[in-house]
Amino acid sequence: MARLLTQKAVDGLRETSRRAVVQGGGPEKFQHSTRLNQSQLSKCWTHVHDPSRKSQQVMAIDVAVEADMEAGAPVILGEMARLEGYRLERDDFEESGKGGLGIADIGTFQAAFHALSQSMMDAAADGKVDAREAADILEHFAKFLRVAHVVECKAHDCDDGGEV
């Protein structure tokens, strides 16, 4: 049976899992936060050139979640999403919809607008916008729109409370 993931994709996931563990303090530290010991963890990214992949181990999903949590960022989850054609977007607005419009909302709005305008200026600085820069602009634009929606709903006292 043919696999859906190429060897390159599997190797990429393994390298990503290594980066997540390193970002979280390394295998020596991480082994105390998960069910695998340091030796078992290293098997998740040690490259074994085996075309059948039978001796290769990819990090289990529960350990991958813990590695991302320890790293403080969705390193592995982001790579998994990318392989499936998705992009992760942080939900920073879980509690933002509660209550009326406040000073913190203005600061959040200004920060989102500044990030958007800065990404646009950075992209346009050389006179052309490449695909990576365009994606960065769109990501900041989407976040700005979410923030603007929260501000609008709080200002108008919307039924959904500004929840995103």
Which residue, chain included where needed, has tokens 């490449």?
Answer: 130
Query: Average pLDDT over the chain, rounded to whole?
Result: 84
pLDDT at 104 over 60: yes
pLDDT of residue 46: 73
From residue 68, give the alpha-carbon distance in Å to each of 79, 139, 140: 11, 21, 23
Q: What is the pLDDT of residues 76-88, one digit of tens each?
A: 999 999 999 888 7
- With 0-12 / 13-18 / 19 or more C-beta atoms within 10 angstroms meaning exposed / middle / buried, residue 52 is exposed
> What angle do the packed helices 103-124 and 131-156 form, to 10 degrees?
160
Distance in angstroms (rounded) separating the CA atoms of residues 119 and 121 = 6
Distance in angstroms (rounded) separating the CA atoms of residues 19 and 96 = 32
pLDDT of residue 161: 46
> What angle do the packed helices 75-83 and 7-23 form, to 10 degrees?
160
User: Which sequence spans correspond to the domains of the chain?
Assistant: 7-83, 103-156
Are 67 and 20 spatial neighbours (Cβ–Cβ below 8 Å)?
Answer: yes
pLDDT of residue 55: 58
Identify the band that residue 100 occupies on the pLDDT scale cut at 50, 70 and 90.
Answer: confident
User: Sign (positive/negative) of CA torsion 157, 158, 162, 163?
Assistant: positive
Centre a 10 Å sphere on the Cβ of residue 112 and count the other Cβ atoms it contains: 22
Q: What is the pLDDT of residues 33-45, one digit of tens each?
A: 999 999 999 888 8
Q: What is the pLDDT of residues 19-31, one digit of tens each?
A: 999 988 899 999 9
Tokens of 11: 């190797």
Q: Please tell me the pTM assigned to this model.
A: 0.55
